[in-house]
């Protein structure tokens, strides 16, 4: 059977339209960029690296994004993103430096400015107003500092530095491990442990409680004032801290006791224990993230290579561990997850940085019940020995938020 020229033209056009439709249907749509910090892997003293991944909107799968860049220093250990999602801050522990990068719309990072810290930076948090960066440093002379930020995210002057110390044991060294800022910018919380009271495998020289969380109210110039009753006990070795988006609850992971400790916030910054806590985690909980809707908590467990999931009772703040498709609280990652984040665009994907796995593990979050399922092709190879992970939305995607 022979086709006329008109019929042939129609057939070719139809095939072309079908191919274009299939390509469009299979097109990968990026909703977020994921940044992962790790060592360069090329010898002692070499700069760390910041790797960029693109997040697929449908599956949560990661693919390589913009080119990997130097962290601007040695041993990057923490990442923080401004509320505008236009700025990334990197803490380089071995270089005693904080490096500021501008984030382009395509995920490209451009180094802008650097500040030097008096001791090794350990953790950071940017306030929601984007006006101050709070940095905890240690281990010797553990402290929390407030660094002013310019309108374009530039690092400014240090407006205040407060030492971490116990009034009952002023000679003990407090080692900071984490920091968070309330969504309303009203208070800052820092976790730390007493090196003289917690010394696995060695002797202790102090009878003080080993784990603590310090609370501060934020003054108009960004400086900090210790909250009444601060610090509060926080187990044995607290490793991370997070506040819920409604400014009502604070949660701390205890690495040594395998527990999640919960607090209610009273009077704007004062902490009181949740009466039915603490709550069981996996072994050696290392990091924590709260769903942007304020409904779920996810904790990475370094020794178990897993993520524990909890649903938050919105009345009491109590976290329940009955969140998993199998009835278990275990979601397997690659080896030794040390950092965890959730995508800000849809609030549907969780990622962990796996230090010994040299990888990132991904999970899809069911927003209705909080359960996790592994994303396609997880884990994803990353820069060597990743230590931190952060995410920013791409394009005009609405963000998942709650109104207190």
Nearest to 277 by CA among 307, 232, 331, 247: 232
**Contacts (Cβ under 8 Å, ≥6 apart) of 260:** 251, 252, 253, 254, 277, 278, 279, 280, 281, 285, 288, 297, 299, 308, 310, 319
Residue 325 in this model has a pLDDT that exceeds 50: no
pLDDT band at 139 (very low <50, low <70, confident <90, very high): confident
Q: How would you classify residue 141: left for phi > 0, otherwise alpha for psi between -120 and 50, otherwise beta?
A: left
Across the strands, what pairs with 114?
Answer: 99
Q: Whose CA is closest to 278, among 294, 256, 254?
A: 254
Segment 334-362 shows an average pLDDT of: 96
Give the dihedral sign, CA 57/59/64/68.
positive
> What is the residue-wise DSSP string for 101-133?
EEE-TTS-EEEEEEEE-SSEEEEEEE-TTSSEE
Closest CA to 288 of 217, 366, 350, 371: 350
8 Å CB contact between 184 and 247: yes
Give residue-wise pLDDT tens across range 91-101.
999 999 999 99
pLDDT > 70 in the chain, percent: 87
DSSP 391: E
Q: What is the pLDDT of residues 30-51, one digit of tens each?
A: 889 999 999 876 555 689 999 9
Query: What CA–CA distance (Å, rounded) separates 394 from 86?
Result: 11
Listed residue (390, 379, 331, 328) closest to 356, CA to CA: 379
Query: What is the per-residue DSSP string for 25-52?
Result: HH---EEEEEEEEEE-SSSTT---EEEE
Give dist(CA 260, CA 172) in Å, integer. Answer: 25
Integer Cα distance of 339 and 24 in angstroms? 35
Tell me which CATH code domain 29-393 carries. Answer: 2.130.10.10
CA separation (Å) from 236 to 169, 273, 299, 324, 397? 16, 15, 17, 28, 41
Angular region, 222: left φ>0, alpha ψ -120 to 50, beta rest: left
pLDDT of residue 21 exceeding 90, the answer is: no
Grade residue 9 by pLDDT with cuts at 50, 70 and 90: very low
Please report, for the chain, the start and end positions of each structural domain, with discontinuous segments joined by +.
29-393
φ/ψ of residue 384, rounded to 5: -65, 140
Hey, is 177 helix, strand or coil? Answer: strand
């Amino acid at each position: 059977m022979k086709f006329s020229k008109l019929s042939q033209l129609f057939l070719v056009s139809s095939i072309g339209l079908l191919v274009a439709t299939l390509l469009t249907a299979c097109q990968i749509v990026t909703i977020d960029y994921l940044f992962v910090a790790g060592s360069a892997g090329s010898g002692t003293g070499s700069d760390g690296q910041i790797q960029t991944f693109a997040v697929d909107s449908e599956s949560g799968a990661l693919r390589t994004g913009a080119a990997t860049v130097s962290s601007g220093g040695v041993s990057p250990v923490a990442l923080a993103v401004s509320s505008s999602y236009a700025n990334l801050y990197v803490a380089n522990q071995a270089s005693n430096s904080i490096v500021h990068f501008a984030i382009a719309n395509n995920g490209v990072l451009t180094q802008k400015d650097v500040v030097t810290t008096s001791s090794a930076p350990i953790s950071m948090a940017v306030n929601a107003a984007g006006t101050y960066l709070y940095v905890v440093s240690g281990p010797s002379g553990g402290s929390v500092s407030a660094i002013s930020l310019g309108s374009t995210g530039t690092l400014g002057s240090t407006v205040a530095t407060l030492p971490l110390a116990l009034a009952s044991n002023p000679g003990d060294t407090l080692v900071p491990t984490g920091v968070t800022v309330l969504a309303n910018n009203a208070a800052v919380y820092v976790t730390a442990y007493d090196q003289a009271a917690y010394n696995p495998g060695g002797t202790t020289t102090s009878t003080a409680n080993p784990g603590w969380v310090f609370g501060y109210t934020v003054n108009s110039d960004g400086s900090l004032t210790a909250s009444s009753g601060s610090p509060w006990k926080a187990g044995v070795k607290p490793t991370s801290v997070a506040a819920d988006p409604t400014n009502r609850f604070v949660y701390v992971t205890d690495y040594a006791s395998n527990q999640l400790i919960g607090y209610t916030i009273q009077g704007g910054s004062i902490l009181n224990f949740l009466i039915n806590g603490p709550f069981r985690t996996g072994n050696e909980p290392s990091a924590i993230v709260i769903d942007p809707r304020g409904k779920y908590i996810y904790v990475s467990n370094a020794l178990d290579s897993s993520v524990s999931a909890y649903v938050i009772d919105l009345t009491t703040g109590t976290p329940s561990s009955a969140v998993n498709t199998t009835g278990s609280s275990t979601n397997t990652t690659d080896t030794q997850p040390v950092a965890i984040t959730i995508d800000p665009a849809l609030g549907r994907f969780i990622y962990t940085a796996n230090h010994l796995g040299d990888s990132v593990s991904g999970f899809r979050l069911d927003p209705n019940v909080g359960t996790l399922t592994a994303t396609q092709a997880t884990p994803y190879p990353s820069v060597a020995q990743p230590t931190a992970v952060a995410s920013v939305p791409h394009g005009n995607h609405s963000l998942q938020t709650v109104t207190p």
